[in-house]
A = this chain, B = another copy of it.
Amino acid sequence: MSVVKKSAEKVEVGREGILNAAASLFRQHGYGGVSLRAIAQAAGIKAGSIYYHFPSKDAIITEILDAGIVKVHEEARACVEALPAGAPAEAFLRAALRGHLRALLEHGDYTSANVRIFGQVPAAVRDANLSIRRDYEKYLDDLLSNLQADGAIRADVNISRFRLLLIGALNATLEWFDPSRGGVEALADDYADTFLNGILTQTGANK
C-alpha cells in the first residue's frame, strides 16, 4: 500500500504507522500517559517528524477517536446486514451486539483506545468526535425502536436508556476480557441472553 521499500532497510512509517503506534499506546496508558516522543519511538521515527504528518497531538487523537467509532459502527452494521432474510427479531440485537464486541475486542487498538481515552481528552477533541458518536447511537436506537414497534421488545422499555446500559456493559468488557478464556462469540451470546431474558427464573409471575 503506502509502505514503500527504500534503499537497504528503510521503510516509510507515514501517517498510518504513527496512528497505529499512537492508538496502541493510548489504549494502554491513557491520554495523559502518552507523549509524542513515546509515539514516535513506537513508530520508529523521531518526535519532530510527527509534525510532518499532523499539526498537533490533538489532531492524532481526534483521528483515532473517529476511526474507533466508525469501526464499531461498521462492524455492527455488517453483522446485522449479514442476517438471513426473515431472521427472528431478537437476532438483530444479537448481531449488533456481536459486531460491537468483535470490533472492540478483536480488531482493535482504535476501538478500544476510543473507549479508554474518550473521557480524558480535552473538551475540544471530544466535541469533534461527538457527531460520529451520535450517528452510531442513532443507528442502535433505530434498530431497537424497530424491534419494539414489532412487539419483540416490551413497550415499557425505554430504548435510549437501554442503549446506554447496553453500550456501557459492552465497553466495560475491555477491562477484563481475556481471549484465552472463551471467545468473543460466546461472550456475545451470553450477554445477549442476559439482556433479552434477564436472569430471573421465569415463573410467569413476573410483573
List residues of chain A with CB under 8 Å of any chain B CB.
Answer: 29-33, 90, 116, 119-120, 151-154, 157-158, 161-162, 164-173, 175-176, 190-191, 194-202, 204, 206-207
Contact = CB atoms under 8 A, between A and B. Distances in A.
Prevailing SS type, chain A contact patch: helix
A193 to B, nearest CB: 8
B194 A197 contact: no
A149 B16 CA distance: 53
Integer count of this chain's copies in the complex: 2
A200 B31 contact: no
Contact of A198 (B164, B197, B201): B197
A129 to B, nearest CB: 13
Contacts of A31: 30, 32-33, 120
Given A161-B190, A171-B172, A197-B200, A33 B154 contact: no
Nearest to A35: B32
18 contacts: A31-B33, A90-B200, A116-B120, A151-B201, A152-B201, A153-B199, A157-B199, A164-B172, A165-B191, A168-B169, A169-B169, A172-B172, A195-B199, A196-B199, A196-B200, A197-B198, A197-B207, A202-B204
